[in-house]
Copies of this chain bind each other. A is one copy, B any other.
């Protein structure tokens, strides 16, 4: 589209409580936007087999990872089996500058850090369950967790949903197709925001 040719890329993020179905939504949306960029995590884990730096992961030493954290260049991270895995900001900045959109499935804290760092170049979406009963049923339905783990996740979810108002958009995941359509509407409309198209009138 000629009206979007000069536009910066937009970093869309999707967050929400465990079991809300955000991973499924992200996968469905990504299928429809094959040109979206892919966010590659940074990790302190050593490469395995044929893994290459910048392909599966950005491989970092603990010192490098610490420095990136200190510089605010890691949006969020988690630790598994003694290794840290995080979302680096620099590759996202390159996507914005090259006009490439990206859809990130990240934690609530990660989305808030993304917005803080990228301002209007980031668009954050919070996925809510239709109700806590539905969320509980989905967590039970997975059949992979014990009752006390599910109770813990629900308690955490009740706290997490209070963060929804800090996001740009709220999508209730009542039905997958409907939620996917809503995210697509957000993606389409954000590209039409006037501040992203200030050059389009003068280019006429």
List residues of chain A with CB under 8 Å of any chain B CB. 1-3, 126, 128-132, 161-162, 164-172, 174, 181-182, 184-186, 188-190, 192-195, 197-198, 200-202, 204
A130 vs B182: C-alpha distance in the bound complex, in angstroms? 27
- Find out whether the CB atom of B200 lies under 8 angstroms from the CB atom of A170: yes
A184 vs B184: C-alpha distance in the bound complex, in angstroms? 11
Query: Among B2, B132, B169, B195, which residue has its beta carbon within 8 angstroms of that of A204?
Result: B132
Give, as a whole number of angstroms, the nearest-CB distance from A68 to chain B. Answer: 29
Query: Among B161, B184, B198, which residue has its beta carbon within 8 angstroms of that of A201?
Result: B161
Give, as a whole number of angstroms, the nearest-CB distance from A150 to chain B. Answer: 17
A189 partner residues in chain B, CB cutoff 8 A: 169, 182, 185-186, 188-190
Q: Which residue of B lies closest to A182 (CB)?
A: B192
Q: Which residue of B lies closest to A170 (CB)?
A: B197
Give, as a whole number of angstroms, the nearest-CB distance from A79 to chain B. Answer: 29
Query: Can you give 21 contacting A-B residue pairs, CB < 8 Å?
Result: A3-B128, A3-B170, A3-B172, A128-B200, A131-B204, A161-B201, A162-B201, A162-B202, A164-B194, A164-B200, A165-B198, A168-B193, A170-B193, A171-B192, A172-B200, A182-B189, A184-B185, A185-B188, A185-B192, A186-B192, A189-B189
